Structures are given as C-alpha cells and as structure tokens.
Amino acid sequence: MKFICLTLLIISGITDSVSEQYKVVGSADPVLTVAGEDVILPCSVKPNISVVDMRVEWFRSDQKDSQLVHLYQDHEDRNTDQIQSYRERTKLNHQELQRGDASLTLSSVRVSDEGLYKCFIESKSWSDDTTVEVRVEAVGRPPVITVDGFDHSGGLHLQCESEGWNPEPDLEWLDSEGVSLSSETTETHRNTEGFSVKHTTTVHHRDDKIHCRVKLRHHMLEALIISSSNMFSSWRTSVIMISVAVVLSVIVGILIAVFARKNRDHDRLQNEKSRLQNEKRRLQHERDQLNTIIPQVNVILDADTAHPRLTVSEDGKQVRDGKRWTERVDGGKDRFDEYLGVLGKEGFSSGCFYFEVQVKGQTEWDLGVSRESVNRTGWISLSPENGYWTVSLFDGEYRAHESSLVSLSLSVKPQRVGVFVDYEKGLVSFYDVESMSLIHSFTNQSFNEKLYPFVSLGYLYNEDPTPLIICDDY
C-alpha cells in the first residue's frame, strides 16, 4: 500500500512539472523605435498560461553584469536594484500577466536604450528566456554652418556640424545646382546621445547658395549659406572678419612703430601704409560680400489680442502678467483666454523679417510666429500643425514645439532671442543674440497666410513680474 502511494506521489509530481513546462518567446526581428517615443518589448509564454505567480525579470544582456531593467516577483514589481536610467520608465501590464504576456513598456526612449534585452520567466519547477533587440532611431539637431576664414586663393572655408543622430547619418555639401561638393575633412563622434558629424569644404564661387544636408533614412535636415551679400549673418558682424581687421590693425601699428624707430625712408613707409590700406579695403569688400541686410521689422504688440491678465505697455513694446483681468478691448479681435499670449499688430506674407525679444529674468515664456487664423481659445498645442512656430522656457527647460516637444540643450541661458523668418523658403530660426548661436530651426515649412510675431508668458498665470521686451537697439 505504501509503495502504491509513493508511486502516485512521484507520478503526480512529474505530471505537475510537465504541465508547467512552457517556452518564452519574444520577437525574431529587432524592435525599431524612435527616440522620445514609447516602445513595447514583446515577451510571452507558449502555451498561454498565467505567469502571475512566477518571477519575471528583464535585464540588459549586452552590458556588464547583466544589469536589471525590471523585476516582477511575489505578485509585485521589485525595482530596488533597477538601473538608474530606467527609473520610472518601465511598466508591466499586470492584467496581461494572467494571459501569459510579460511584455515590457519602455517610455521616452533614449539612444542609450539601444541594445539587447533578455526576458527571463521562472516558475517553481521551470524557467526559460528570450532575447529582444531594440534599435533606436534619433533625428539630430539641424546642421549649423560656420565660416572658418579664407585661404590664400580667396576660397571660403566652411564647416558644417550636427549632433544627436542615431544611427550615423550621411552629411553632404551641395551647390545651388544640386551638385555634390567634396568634403575636405570629416569627423564623427558617438556618445550616449548619438552620433555627431562635422565636415569642412572650401568654395570659390561668389553669389552661390551652398547647402549642408544631413540625411538618415527618410529624415533630412538642411542648412543654407549664401556666399554673397545675401548671406545670413548680418544681424551680427562676422567674428572672423572682426578678427582679421584687429590683426591687420595690429600689423599696421607694429609696422609704423618699426619704421618710425628705424627712421626709414618716409616714402617707403607711406607706400607700405598705402599697400596695407588697400589690403584692408579688399578685406572690407569681402566682408561686405559676406554680410546681408535682413529686414528688421518694428514689432508692436496688439493689445486687442492679449489675454485679459496681460498688461501691454502704451508703446506696444513690453508685456507682463498684470495679475488681474481687464475688460475686453473693442477691436473685433479674438483674445487669448488661457495662454498668456499676444500677437504683433503687423503680419507678413512674403520675404524675410527679423525681430528680437529680451527674455532676461523671465522664468516662463514662449515666442515665435503664428498664422493669422490660429485658434486663441482654450488650451493650445503651440505646434506647426496648429499654426505656431515657437520655442519656450518652462520649468527650467528650453524646448522647441515641433509635432512633439523637443528638448534643447543650451550651454548658456539666452538673455535676448532673435527670430528670423524666410517666408518663401519655409524657414523659422531662433538665435541667442549674445552668444551668436543657433537655438533651433523649423525648416521646409509651408506658409499660406500671414505670419504674426507671437509672445507668451505661459499658460493661465505667471508669478514672475519681469516683462518680455521687444528690442529696437540692434
């Protein structure tokens, strides 16, 4: 009798063990995602039995010590030892665990998330795992072209760089006819934020449009520089030409001092000075060719469009949160009723225009341009789809309002922001005036109605009394 009972127990144990056997499956193909979006890493058991009572562990199998990404055990998440970079970004659907689905949701994907992930599921008597490969695609920042001086033959040295791409993008130079120009030097670097690329070239053409184009699969960003009087750099004098002028002035001073000390022939000194003056005139002419005249418009804020809390100065050059609602101004125009926004009085439907806004001291702002017909009531997504092209400061973070928010990494806090619009080319660019650096560009946009300057002090209220100021001293 005892033998029979023992035999039954053994058979029962074997049966239970066999019944718990399962296979963990994931994805045979890499999981493709885009930086900033959420992604689901597939993992489930076959047959579809409940894994609620099992241990589910996700970890990076391509990193040292197989670091923990997410752990579910004893009916709850246990992420005390989770990698710091994954904190608050991973989630298992506990209801789906009952159906054998242990897929992991990873939010706000980063380039550093790219790699191999292992899903390990363990019961009391069985375990199995599968590996999921994640590939992250990231569209980098718009390329920036800088002028790096001239060579002895008068060729113009240009440098173009862009960063934040993944995988490595292609960078090429093109002339106005679309013909590729050779890159003289190329540099590529990679960090946790992706690839950065830098190429240089030399051009000898005058009155030519030079394009720097960065491409990644179906994404493309482009910058343009015009080697003529139309070149976009006139809002501040070329640093390179200033340097040349300073060096030339020093040389003139040294030569004059040397010639004076040595009492050389007066005619020789005059001839040398004349030669140097001619050289200065030549350099000045080249600098004038590089500089452009941007239409700097006189922006006056339209109080009839301002949110009732806002106070607009009499000259229309300053706006602040007045802390109280004012009566509607009779003008037949819709006012912003939730965003603390205001538009400029004059709109533009062609050509180029440029204006500057002082943001120094203000802790929350949005600025840029908007279409004439934009919605001004309720909560508004300040995106190009809704007719707004803006950058902003919110909660200490600088952002661009693309179709989704883009975080901007700025080395210094802008005190004054320049806004440049080329209507025909669909370009809206923002610049840090003091550091003469690009903040962000919207390229290849389509404009079909008037664009108005737009400034805002945020959403609903702003406790900072500092005004935004439209600048005229540039």
Tell me which DSSP letter residue 169 carries: P
Mean pLDDT by 10 residues, the chain (474 residues): 47 48 94 94 95 96 87 95 94 95 96 95 95 94 85 78 93 88 91 92 78 88 71 39 43 49 57 60 46 67 92 94 64 78 93 93 95 89 93 93 88 93 93 88 93 93 90 77
**CATH topology (fold) of 303-471:** Jelly Rolls (2.60.120)
Left if phi > 0, otherwise alpha if psi is -120 to 50, otherwise beta: which for 35? beta
- Top-level class of domain 20-137: mainly beta
Number of Cβ within a 10 Å radius of residue 101? 16
pTM of the model: 0.46
Q: Which phi and psi angles does 234 have, rounded to 5°?
A: -75, -15
* Structure token digits, residue 439: 């903040």
Do domains 20-137 and 144-226 share one topology? The answer is: yes
Token pair for 394? 């919110």
Measured N-to-C along each axis, helices 239-261 and 266-290 cross at an angle, to the nearest 10 degrees, of 180
Homologous superfamily in CATH for domain 144-226: Immunoglobulins (2.60.40.10)
Burial of 58 (0-12, 13-18, 19+ CB in 10 A): buried
Q: Where are the domains of the chain?
A: 20-137, 144-226, 239-290, 303-471
Q: What is the pLDDT of residue 227?
A: 67
Separation of first and last alpha carbons in the chain: 104
Q: What does the pLDDT read at residue 148?
A: 76
Q: In what order do the strands lie in the sheet with 156-165?
A: 144-150, 156-165, 194-203, 185-191
Q: Which helix (H) or strand (E) holds 81?
A: none
What's the pLDDT score for residue 286?
43
Query: Any idea of the CA torsion for 450, 451, 452, 456, to the nearest 10 degrees?
Result: 140
pLDDT of residue 378: 85
